[in-house]
Amino acid sequence: MGCFSFIKVMMILFNMLIFLCGAALLAVGIWVSVDGPSFMKIFGPMSSSAMQFVNVGYFLIAAGAVLFALGFLGCYGAHTESKCALMTFFFILLLIFIAEVAAAVVALVYTTLAENLLMAVVVPNIKKEYGSQKDFTQVWNSTMAGLKCCGFTNYTDFEGSPYVRMNGTFPPYCCYNSVNHSFVEPCNSVNAHNMSVQGCFKQLLYDIRTNAVTVGGVAAGIGGLELAAMIVSMYLYCNLE
C-alpha cells in the first residue's frame, strides 16, 4: 500500500502540472488568436514561420484543451480512485501517442506530399494577400528576415501579388546575397533568379534537420512521459478494489 500511495500522489502531482500547462496553452492560444502580431514580436521569426503552415492560435487552443482535460481526468481519477476516469485518461493518452507516432512517420516518409499539400494552400494566399493584408504581410516579412528565405518555394510565389503589382519588384529578401550579407537592388526577376534564395519551407526543414538531435530528444522525452503516465494509470486501475 505504501508503493500504491506514493504512485497515487505522483500521479496527482504530475497531472496537476499537465492541467496547469493546458491552462497556460489555452491562454496563449487565445492571445495569439486575438493579437497575433504582438506574439510574433515577442517570440521572433520561428513563431511567424510556424504561423504560415498552421493556425497557431487554434492549434494551441486545441492542444491546451486536450491537456486541460487530461490533467483533470488524471487528478480526479487518482484522487477519487475512479476506475472510469483512469481508464478514460489511459485511452485518450493512448490515442494521442498513436497519433503522434503516425504523424512522425508521415512527416518523415511523405515530406514531399506534405510540401505539395501546403503549397496548394499557402502559395495562392501569398499571391492574393501579400502586400495588401497588413498582418499577413508582416508575418511573411518576419519569417523571411529571420530564416533568410524567400516565399514558400522561391521568388515566383510573389508573381502577381499586390506587392509586386504596386512596387514592380519582389520583396528584398528574395535578393539577399548571403556572401556579403546585403540586398541586391532592384529586386527584379533577373536578380531574384540569380540570387536563388531558398524557399521558407525547405529552410525550415533544413533548420529542423540541423537540430535533429534536439528535436528527437524532445520527442523521445514526450513519448517517454506519455508511456509512463499510461503505465501508472493502468497500475492504479488494476490495484483499485
Q: What is the CA radius of gyration of the chain?
A: 23
Distance between the two ends of the chain, CA-based, in angstroms?
12
Chain centroid, CA 92 distance in Å: 21
For the full predicted model, state whether its pTM sits above 0.75.
no
Instruction: Say how many C-beta atoms besides its own lie within 10 A of residue 38's C-beta.
Output: 11
Structure confidence by residue, pLDDT tens digits, 187-219: 999 999 998 888 888 887 777 667 667 767 777
In tens digits, the chain (241 residues) has pLDDT values of 568 888 888 888 888 888 888 888 788 777 766 665 555 554 544 444 444 444 566 777 888 888 888 888 888 888 888 889 889 999 988 998 898 888 777 766 766 666 677 778 888 888 998 988 887 888 888 888 888 899 888 999 999 999 999 999 999 999 998 888 889 889 999 999 998 888 888 887 777 667 667 767 777 888 888 888 888 888 888 887 6
Rounded Cα distance between 237 and 241, Å, is 9
Return the closest-CA partner of residue 174 out of 190, 157, 187. Answer: 187
Distance CA 12, CA 72 (A): 9
